[in-house]
Chains A and B, each alone.
Chain A
Amino acid sequence: MDKVIHFKIKRQDGPNSQPYWEEFKMPYAPQHNVISALLYLREHPVNTRGQRVAPVAWESNCMEEVCGACSMLVNGVPRQACAALVDDLEQPIVLEPLTKFPIIRDLAVDRQKMFDALIRVKAWVPLDGSQDVHEPAPRISPADQALRYVYSRCMTCGCCMEACPQYHDHSDFIGPALFGQVALHNSHPTGGFFKADRLHALMDPGGIAGCGNAQNCFKVCPKDIPLTHAIGELGRQTTVQWLRDLLMK
Chain B
Amino acid sequence: MAKQRVVVVGGGLGGLWATLRLAEAGHSVDLFSMFQVKRSHSCCAQGGINAVLDIKGQHDSIEQHITDTIKGGDYLGDQPPIKTMCQDAPGLVHTYDRMGVTFSRTPEGIMDQRLFGGVKNRRTCFAGATTGAQLLYGIDEQVRAHEGGGRVRKLEFWEFLSLVLDDQGVCRGVAALNVRNMKVETFRADVVLLATGGAGLIWGRSTMSTNCTGAAAARAYQQGAKFANGEFAQFHPTAMKGHDKLRLMSEACRGEGGRIWVPRKAGDTRLGRDIPENERFYFLEEWYPAYGNTSPRDVASRAIVRVTRHMGLGVRGQDIVYLDLTHKSREFLEARLGGILDMYQTFAGVDPYTNPMEVFPSMHYTMGGLWVGFDKDGQTGGMARISPKNHATSVPGLYACGECDFAYHGANRLGANSLLSASFSGRVAGDAAAAYLKNLKSGCDKVPDSVYDAERQRQAEINQALLARTGGENASTLHHQLGELMQQYVFVERDNAGLDKALAGIAELKERGRKISLDDKGNWSNQSLPWARQVQDMIVLGEVMTKCARLRDECRGSHYKAEFELKQPEGKFAGDPEYEAYTEKWKANNERWLKHSIATHTPAGPQVEYWPVDSSVMPPTKPRDYR
Contact = CB atoms under 8 A, between A and B. Distances in A.
B357 to A, nearest CB: 12
Contacts of B142: 124, 127, 130
A36 to B, nearest CB: 4
Interface stretch (B226-234, B344-352, B373-381): B344-352
A66 B43 contact: yes
Interface stretch (B107-115, B161-169, B272-280): B107-115
Question: Most A CB atoms within 10 A — which of B142, B211, B243?
Answer: B243
A191 B531 CA distance: 41
A109 B305 CA distance: 42
30 contacts: A43-B477, A45-B519, A54-B522, A54-B526, A55-B520, A55-B527, A57-B525, A61-B35, A63-B247, A64-B343, A66-B43, A66-B130, A67-B209, A69-B35, A123-B144, A124-B145, A127-B98, A131-B95, A137-B98, A139-B108, A142-B109, A145-B102, A145-B104, A148-B102, A149-B128, A152-B137, A153-B133, A156-B36, A185-B100, A191-B100
Contacts of B103: 145
User: What band does the interface of chain B fall in when counting residues whose beta carbon is under 8 Å from A?
Assistant: 35 or more
B44 interface: yes
B346 A61 contact: no
A115 interface: yes
B519 A52 contact: yes
Question: Most A CB atoms within 10 A — which of B102, B134, B347, B476?
Answer: B102
B576 interface: no
Interface in B525-566: 525-528, 531
Contacts of B44: 62, 64, 66-67
B520 A140 contact: no
B141 A13 contact: no
A93 interface: no
Question: Most A CB atoms within 10 A — which of B104, B105, B474?
Answer: B105
B578 interface: no
A47 to B, nearest CB: 12
Interface in B27-45: 35-36, 38-41, 43-44
Nearest to A32: B243
A42 B38 contact: no
Nearest to B108: A139
Contact of A129 (B24, B210, B527): B24
Contacts of B245: 36, 63-64
Interface string A22-52: 0000000111110110011011010000001
A125 B41 contact: no
Interface stretch (A81-89, A171-179, A205-213, A236-244): A81-89
A122 B443 CA distance: 35
Contacts of B145: 122, 124, 126
A61 B210 contact: yes
Given A55-B520, A127-B142, A155-B38, A190 B525 contact: no
Given A127-B98, A155-B133, A190-B98, A142 B39 contact: no
Contacts of B36: 69, 111, 115, 156
Question: Most A CB atoms within 10 A — which of B94, B133, B141, B209?
Answer: B141
B102 A63 contact: no
A68 interface: yes
B147 interface: yes
A67 B524 contact: no
Nearest to A106: B525
B427 interface: yes
Contacts of A66: 43-44, 130, 133
Contacts of A59: 35
Question: Most B CB atoms within 10 A — which of A53, A60, A83?
Answer: A60
Contact of B100 (A32, A54, A105, A125): A125
Contacts of A76: none
A62 B247 CA distance: 10
A148 B101 CA distance: 9
Contacts of A111: 36
B107 A142 contact: yes
A132 interface: yes
B148 A119 contact: yes
A97 B565 CA distance: 54
Interface string B187-204: 000000000000000000
A17 B130 CA distance: 39
Contacts of B41: 61-62, 67
B346 A68 contact: no
Given A115-B36, A153-B130, 11 more contacts: A14-B525, A42-B528, A43-B474, A66-B130, A69-B39, A104-B525, A118-B144, A122-B148, A149-B128, A152-B134, A188-B100
Contacts of B128: 149
A96 interface: no
Contact of A130 (B21, B105, B519): B21
B20 interface: yes
